[in-house]
Amino acid sequence: MKPGKGLQNRGLIVSCQALEDEPLHGGDTMTKMAIAAELAGAVGIRANGVHDIRSIKQAVKVPVIGLIKRHIPGSAIFITPTLEEVHDIIAAGADVVALDVTDREGRLDRAAELIQAAHAAGVSVMADVSTFEEGVAAAGLGADYIGTTLSGYTPYSAKSESPDLYLVRKLSEAAKAPIISEGRIWTPGEAAMAMEAGAAFVVVGSAITRPQLIAARYAAAVHPFKV
Ligand SMILES: CC(=O)N[C@H](C=O)[C@@H](O)[C@H](O)[C@H](O)COP(=O)(O)O
């Protein structure tokens, strides 16, 4: 079955995530962040965990990309690692399921099953990849959106402090699915450059919703002037 739900308009997606060890974790804080993002013109929200996905779905009209981060001992795959999380994300009401589609631990072979499970429920899939080859493979497996989320976070992908716009450009020229530029976008200028490079969507997370990281940049900037 072709997924009925998904992202409607090109543009900004705000990632509203706070893990257990982060100061903004818990309660309705991420839901309030999502409401603020929608007011600002975001066309989608990316959220982690059943609680936040469900709460954000009730609070905003724009589509929600859901993921569940879970660390399984002995595995490096932590973004929606198994079919169980796919079902939980769908049950929580997400419009799009985000999952790791990297070439590790036989994941490319198993990803088809997870993608099909989402599609069978009428839900779209965002493949979080780290390289060009993974992006092309993910599109071939039927992923509806290809995100550069994991570029810089697998041992074999390019490390950088900046967004991987080279990957965005290469994928947008080759992959048969819309490209989502995600990871290390800190300024509106970088977001615009990602769209210029061919992205259909830009996900911004930390620069909007992780105040401890935002404030740290200011603290570092003024540090040399301290007496
Ligand atoms: C690598 C990984 O675990 N990325 C996670 C994926 O959901 C999030 O922690 C990031 O915040 C998200 O990708 C947005 O990126 P940035 O926060 O850089 O704008």
The residue whose C-alpha atom lies closest to atom 1 belonging to ligand 1 is 150
Position 208 in a domain? yes
Distances (CA, A) of 78 to 48, 69, 191: 12, 5, 26
What's the rounded mean pLDDT across residues 46-63? 98
| Calpha distance 202→195 (Å, rounded) | 7
The residue whose C-alpha atom lies closest to atom 6 belonging to ligand 1 is 149
Alpha carbon of 46 to ligand 1 centroid (Å): 10
Q: Provide the pLDDT confidence category of residue 3 given band limits of 50, 70 and 90.
A: low
pLDDT in tens, 143-177: 999 999 999 999 999 999 999 999 999 999 998 89
Position 187 in a domain? yes
Main-chain phi, psi angles of 101, to 5 degrees: -125, 65
| Calpha distance 130→135 (Å, rounded) | 8
Helices (H), the chain: 29-40, 50-59, 83-91, 107-120, 132-140, 165-174, 188-196, 206-209, 211-222
In this structure, how many other beta carbons lie within 10 angstroms of the beta carbon of residue 8?
Answer: 11
> Tell me, what's the pLDDT at 4?
59
Alpha carbon of 224 to ligand 1 centroid (Å): 29
| Calpha distance 203→191 (Å, rounded) | 8
What's the rounded mean pLDDT across residues 58-76? 98
What's the rounded mean pLDDT across residues 70-78? 97
CATH of the domain at 115: 3.20.20.70
Alpha carbon of 149 to ligand 1 centroid (Å): 7
Q: Provide the pLDDT confidence category of residue 8 given band limits of 50, 70 and 90.
A: confident
Position 115 in a domain? yes
Domain count, the chain: 1
Average pLDDT taken over every residue of the chain: 96
Alpha carbon of 2 to ligand 1 centroid (Å): 28
Coil, helix or strand at residue 59? helix
Q: Provide the pLDDT confidence category of residue 5 given band limits of 50, 70 and 90.
A: confident
Position 35 in a domain? no
Return the sign of the alpha-carbon dihedral for residues 22, 27, 31, 36.
negative
Position 20 in a domain? no
> Tell me, what's the pLDDT at 99?
98
* Atom of ligand 1 minimally distant from the CA of 152: 1
Asked if pLDDT for residue 2 goes beyond 60, the answer is: no
The residue segments making up the domain with residue 149 are 79-225
Position 11 in a domain? no
Asked if pLDDT for residue 227 goes beyond 90, the answer is: no
Position 192 in a domain? yes
pTM of the model: 0.97
First to last CA, the chain: 64
| Calpha distance 100→120 (Å, rounded) | 19
Position 190 in a domain? yes
Asked if pLDDT for residue 1 goes beyond 50, the answer is: no
**Residue (of 210, 201, 157, 195) closest to 178 by Cα position:** 201
